[in-house]
Amino acid sequence: MQHGTKQRDRGGRPRKFDEEEALEKMQRQLWTTGLSGVSVDGIARSAGLNRPSLAAAFGGKNAIYAQAAARFARTMTNGLAERSMTTISR
């Protein structure tokens, strides 16, 4: 029995893009056009990705929207926390 030389735990090639940067671009696109106003191809173009890379990294359109919304919530929470700390230290 021959064993393959490929590592089985890798799960594909390493990504050649910054996921957070791509998500930021997709978030901007979604907020501008709305979920119903943009296609998956449009979302992919806004992030500079091809459709298979987009799907592999982020999932479908609804999953991308959910991730963009979660990113927005984190940004707002962090911003409010920073403001609170600034106000308290004054």
CA distances to 44, 47, 52, 73 from 39, rounded to whole Å, are 9, 13, 14, 23
| DSSP state at residue 37 | T
Q: Which CATH class is domain 19-89?
A: mainly alpha
- pLDDT tens for each residue of 4-61: 444 444 466 667 888 999 999 999 999 899 888 999 999 999 999 999 999 999 999 9
Written as one letter, the residue type at 1 is M
pTM of the model as a whole: 0.68
> Rounded to whole angstroms, how far apart are CA atoms 35 and 20?
19
Q: How confident is the model at residue 89 (pLDDT cuts 50, 70, 90)?
A: low
Helices (H), the chain: 19-33, 40-47, 51-58, 61-89
